[in-house]
Amino acid sequence: RAEARDLAALKEQLEQERTARLQLVEKLEARDKELAAQATEIRELVAAARPPPPGSQHRRANGDHREYYKTILTEGQFFIKHSSKKMAKAHNRFFWVSHDLTTLSWRKGGDYEHTDSAQLASFDAVTPGPGGAKTLKRGLVDAEEVCFTLKRFSGEALTLQLEIGAMERGNAADHRRARDDWLGAFRFAVDYAKSVASLGGGGGGGGGGR
């Protein structure tokens, strides 16, 4: 009986040690995932803050905007996404356009599981500045210089009010230049997507509010 008790105690001790090891492994795996997500977000922030691709100023100066626009649209950028809702908070989101230049997607940095999107052909206009008085009242600094808005005039009322993030800002001239680059890029993308949709290749609504 004593041997049986000793054996039972040993088995219980081994089971406790096994459980503790499994819990430690789970904690380490969770930490690895957290560190990987942080590393991904840091890489994206660094990429978002890098200067324009080499030769982009030359291409713009020579009227070759399309390739430059395609490059920055498909590589993506962090923007501050504002809401037209009175009490809603602004959020930092990573935006990018599909390689066929028809779909705009956005997500939190490092969050690859939850993505919102909208068909570019569904937007009616891309305008400089914030989308309305509510945004201006939120206290955006240099709102006219660093914001642009993708608007819908009918149908599903999704309007995206985007602000050039602080990391992408330099002096006042840089603010306006960066905003104008993205304003031109999204106007190009919306026009292109509408031309594709008119030929039966895409379009429609979509979108979310994250």
5 pLDDT above the threshold of 80: no
Cβ-based neighbours of 44, under 8 Å, separated by 6 or more: 76, 78, 94, 109, 110
Token pair for 99: 């390689």
Token pair for 153: 């005039």
29 against 135, higher pLDDT: 29
Nearest to 163 by CA among 125, 128, 118: 128
Q: What sign for the dihedral angle of Cα 65, 91, 164, 127?
A: positive
- List, for residues 47-76, the tens digit of each pLDDT value: 555 545 444 554 554 556 888 899 899 999
What's the pTM? 0.63
| Domain residue limits, the chain | 1-50, 65-199
Whole-number Å distance between alpha carbons of 82 and 162:
6
pLDDT computed for residue 120 by the predictor: 93
Whole-number Å distance between alpha carbons of 130 and 135:
6
Question: Locate tokens 């052909």: which residue?
Answer: 121
Nearest to 183 by CA among 137, 144, 141, 142: 144
Cα 197–chain centre separation: 24
Whole-number Å distance between alpha carbons of 27 and 47:
30
132 DSSP assignment: S
90 pLDDT above the threshold of 50: yes
User: How many degrees, rounded to 5, is the angle at CA 159 between CA 177 and CA 105?
Assistant: 75
149: three-class secondary structure by DSSP? strand
- What's the CATH code, domain 65-199? 2.30.29.30
- List, for residues 138-166, the tens digit of each pLDDT value: 444 566 778 888 888 765 566 788 888 75
Token pair for 109: 């940095």
pLDDT computed for residue 60 by the predictor: 54
Nearest to 73 by CA among 59, 51, 46, 94: 94
In the chain, how long is the greatest CA-to-CA distance?
93
Q: Are 34 and 64 in contact (CB under 8 A)?
A: no
